[in-house]
């Protein structure tokens, strides 16, 4: 690999701004990498949509990044990762990294009692993406899944330390606690924001798996294996594109990313057709 491919950006997309939690993990582990992010804020949420629609949107989102000459595409959205990876891999020859495989591997390394919980959007849980992948690697693993749709608006509202969030978490997570899981996969971009309250409700003995952290490690491994890790000593540049810019959005986005963002650009809308 030559210098040119090493300095190409990593493309990351999500249904909205939740994927910035994944960009944060990439920033932390691979600070020299240039990143181009696309958040489909006009069509979020994906977690309540049909698989057919999510696949169509994911292909359009990926195309936007591909046209910007990225060296790999990271599907930060767990919902899109749960259903669109085969279609994306078929279409593109550059590496496609989803959240399910890295999150699964990390969880399998962590569990001692073989009981793993998974939380995510309705679509991710209905698709059973995590349990299929977990059982593929170890058929003796017991997997317990639970959709926690209200966690997304709570994270966006910034209610990270709020009584209401704790009550809702207790309600959602009770059945997983009763199953005595020792590992819980946070299978949604937004859930790492609520990690403290989830940990409090689950108890200290349960290990939380952040799929974004696991994905950042897989990205690093892949870049090293392909010889196109950016070895610059300078901090990489980031560009942020979205399909809609609403009023409150910058504040939430910066909270998810953990740093200020100079500019969000609106992506060309003609690439993002809506289903008729």
The catalytic site residues sit at 77, 188
State how far the alpha carbon of 205 is from the alpha carbons of 1, 168, 200, 202, in Å.
Answer: 44, 20, 10, 8
Return the residue nearest ligand DGL (CB atom).
Answer: 47
Residue 98 engages ligand DGL in binding (rule: CB under 6 A): no
Minimal distance, residue 57 CB to ligand DGL, in Å: 10
Interface with ligand DGL, residue 121, by CB under 6 A: yes
Choose the binding region for ligand DGL from 5-13, 158-166, 184-192, 226-234 (rule: CB under 6 A).
184-192
Restricted to residues 124-183, the positions that interact with ligand DGL (CB under 6 A) are 124, 152
Beta strand ranges found along 111-182 (DSSP E): 115-120, 142-147
Burial of 85 (0-12, 13-18, 19+ CB in 10 A): buried
Plot region of 203 (φ>0 → left; ψ -120 to 50 → alpha; else → beta): left
**Least distance in angstroms from the C-beta of 238 to ligand DGL:** 19
Position 78 contacts ligand DGL (CB under 6 A): yes
Cis previous bond, 45, omega within 30:
yes
Burial letters for 185-197: b for 16+ Cβ neighbours within 10 Å, e otherwise?
Answer: bbbbbbbbbbeeb
Residue number, 6 or 156, with CB nearest to ligand DGL: 156
**Binding of ligand DGL by 215 (CB under 6 A):** no
Binding site for ligand DGL (CB under 6 A): 14-16, 18, 44-47, 77-79, 120-121, 124, 152, 188-190
């Amino acid at each position: 690999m030559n210098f040119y491919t090493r300095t190409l950006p990593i493309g990351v997309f999500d249904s909205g701004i939740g994927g910035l939690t994944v960009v944060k993990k990439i920033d932390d582990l691979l600070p020299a990498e240039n990143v181009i992010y696309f958040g489909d804020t006009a069509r979020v949420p994906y977690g309540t949509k049909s698989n057919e629609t999510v696949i169509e949107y994911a292909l359009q989102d990926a195309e936007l990044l591909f046209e910007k000459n990225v060296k790999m595409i990271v599907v930060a959205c767990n919902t899109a990762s749960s259903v669109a990876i085969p279609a994306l891999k078929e279409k593109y020859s550059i590496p496609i990294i989803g959240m399910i495989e890295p999150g699964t591997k990390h969880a399998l390394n962590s569990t001692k009692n073989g009981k793993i919980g998974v939380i995510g959007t309705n679509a991710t849980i209905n698709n059973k993406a995590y349990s299929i992948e977990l059982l593929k690697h170890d058929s003796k693993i017991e997997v317990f899944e639970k959709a926690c749709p209200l966690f997304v608006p709570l994270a966006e509202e910034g209610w990270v330390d709020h009584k209401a969030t704790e009550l809702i978490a207790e309600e959602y997570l009770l059945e997983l606690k009763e199953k005595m899981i020792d590992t819980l996969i946070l299978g949604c971009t937004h859930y790492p924001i609520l990690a403290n309250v989830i940990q409090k409700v689950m108890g200290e003995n349960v290990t939380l798996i952040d799929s974004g952290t696991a994905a950042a490690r897989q990205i690093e491994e892949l870049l090293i294996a392909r010889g196109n890790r950016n070895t610059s000593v300078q901090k990489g540049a980031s560009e942020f594109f979205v399909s809609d810019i609403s009023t409150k959005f910058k504040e939430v986005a910066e909270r998810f990313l953990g740093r200020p963002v100079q500019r969000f650009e609106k992506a060309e809308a003609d690439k993002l057709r809506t289903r008729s």
